[in-house]
Chain A
Amino acid sequence: MIRLDTMSYAYFRGKTVFDGVSIDLPSHRRMAVLGGPETGKTTLIGLLSGVIDPTAGRIQRFAHLSFPAGYSRAFRMPNSVRQNVIFAARIYDADPDDVLAFIAGIVDLEGMLDRPMRDLAVPTRLAVAFALTYALPFDTYLFDNIIGPGDPATRDLWRTLFEARTAQSGAILATRQPRAAEAYCDCALVLRRNAQPVFFENMREAIALFEEENPAPRKPAPTAGASDQAQGDSAAAQGDSAAAQGNSAAAQAVAKAAE
């Protein structure tokens, strides 16, 4: 469990992102953080991982939380790939040899293991960072938008790793795509601008609230007008959620066909 205790965060320039948020989040489930642009998804992932500190209040972590997946800023460029991986494995209490073998099995390093980190191509470095995230044992893995770096050819690989790791551990995935949230997660936290975040056990209700907050851009004009008029009308909200369900079902069908 992760407990946010009247946590506030404001950028130094004065823009408040979170204002006295008190909420308990599950650490051993797959939770989506749904929110429109500038609602603080990345900030929340940063706060949970400890990359940034809250302005006020505190975060109690009753679990071993990861760094944001694919965190490559901590690599020391003059050090070799091996030294960097061993350092990360040591501070996160995993066996360095196991972690090295795991990464070598995922990323094709072709003898680059003992070269300085700066000699690696940027996509390879990113792949090493993601492989390192999956290699280290955590209770909760934190993802900001993506579960693996681009490149359609390796998408299945990262999906397999995600499924394998989250079978035992939890994951928190920040996204603005309801389809991704539904495909990867089974509960959700919806972030809203100028309002408290809401936790939903049920993904459909979460998506319904999210769609209400962020009307889909390509919606036909009359429907958008209707939902604007009927704000707070539960019937409209349910209609939206049904539409979202239809969308995501279609997406899943497409994904299955692709597999």
Chain B
Amino acid sequence: MSQAYPSGRIYAAGPRRHALRSQFNVLSALLFREAEMRQGQNFALGYLAAGIEPLIIVGTIGLLFSALAKTPPYGTSLLLFLGTGVFPIYLFIHTSLRLRQPMNPGAQRQRFPIERPFDHILIHAVLHLVSSALVTVLFFGSLYYFCGVNAAIPEDPATAISALFIILLLGIATGICNSVIARIFPIWDVLWPAFARASLHFSGPYFVAAYLPPDNRWFFGLNPVIHGVNWFRHAFYPFYPNQLTDQSYLLTITFGLLFLGLLLEAGTRRHFEEKD
């Protein structure tokens, strides 16, 4: 039989480059495959489709507020105020939902041994970031160009980007914790999306949290996402009230959850490998 046996291109490299190269191979192959897939279905640019949801929320709340003839709670543009709230919140919600998928214990059994769980986490986070960034830039850009809202271009882009980055990290940390909780209580997979979407209303997309009565404000301040939203709004509104922008609280919660999630995941991994 005359078969041409494919040969590796990897062997010219030394062991160190070998490791880097195979890491690169795994990440690039995963990136292109996962970009085409969503929830196990072939779906062209499936990740971009997730960006439609915050657009619908902004549109419906905007419509409702216009119908009620309410003035924007802050600033001059209602859509800008809603957008600066809804987009960071949805970055959190979607990241915390999507990251349960790569950490699913059943999923690790359906992979080649060279793919590690954290390759999948990294790729899903990057894909999510790219798709959210595209939709966000599109939204604020079109507000600026078509609606003439000059404030839609952030005065302080560094603040906007760092706030979004911390919210993304918070979403990743929550997603890892959720994946562990869902293994113990499978009903969590149904409850968490409901909780996450309901939390939208407590994260201040359509009100200024700092204007709440001080007694209630303290309870709203427990929600870390509200701090991220306010942080993000500082980039657009230079004089935005900062009573509920405790960046150290947000960072503490984020890294605490990240640590807890990784610890729980490492501690329970073997138990769940055996379980299913």
Q: Are A and B co-members of a single complex?
A: yes
A contact residues around B40 at 8 Å (CB)? 76, 78
Chain A: interface residue count, which band?
35 or more
Partner of A93, one of B15, B25, B274: B25
Partner of B270, one of A12, A160, A165: A12
Question: Please, how many angstroms separate the alpha-carbon atoms of A11 and B28 in the complex?
Answer: 34
Total residue contacts A-B, CB cutoff 8 A: 100
A contact residues around B15 at 8 Å (CB)? 62
Chain A residues at the B interface, C-beta cutoff of 8 Å: 11-13, 49-53, 55, 62, 64, 67, 71, 73-74, 76, 78-79, 83, 87-95, 98-99, 101-102, 105-106, 134-137, 157, 160-161, 164-165
Chain B residues at the A interface, C-beta cutoff of 8 Å: 1, 3-11, 15, 18, 21-22, 25-26, 28-30, 33, 37, 40-42, 109-115, 270-271, 273-275
Chain A residue, CB-CB nearest to B7: A137
Residue pair A164, B3 in contact (C-beta under 8 Å) = yes
Residue pair A102, B7 in contact (C-beta under 8 Å) = no
**Nearest 4 CB-CB pairs, A to B?**
A12-B274, A50-B113, A137-B8, A90-B29
Known: A12-B271, A102-B5. A93 touches B10 (CB 8 A): yes
Chain A residue, CB-CB nearest to B30: A91
Which of B4, B7, B8, B30 has the largest count of A CB atoms less than 10 A from its CB?
Answer: B8
Chain B residue, CB-CB nearest to A50: B113
Chain A residue, CB-CB nearest to B43: A78
Residue pair A55, B270 in contact (C-beta under 8 Å) = yes
Chain A residue, CB-CB nearest to B111: A74
Known: A64-B10, A94-B6, A165-B5. A71 touches B112 (CB 8 A): yes
B contact residues around A92 at 8 Å (CB)? 8, 22, 25, 112, 114
Question: Please, how many angstroms separate the alpha-carbon atoms of A134 and B29 in the complex?
Answer: 20
Chain B residue, CB-CB nearest to A92: B114
Residue pair B9, A93 in contact (C-beta under 8 Å) = yes
Question: Please, how many angstroms separate the alpha-carbon atoms of A50 and B275 in the complex?
Answer: 19
Residue pair B112, A99 in contact (C-beta under 8 Å) = no
Residue pair B3, A91 in contact (C-beta under 8 Å) = no
CB distance from A75 to the nearest CB of B (A): 8
Which of B28, B29, B115 has the largest count of A CB atoms less than 10 A from its CB?
Answer: B29
B contact residues around A13 at 8 Å (CB)? 274
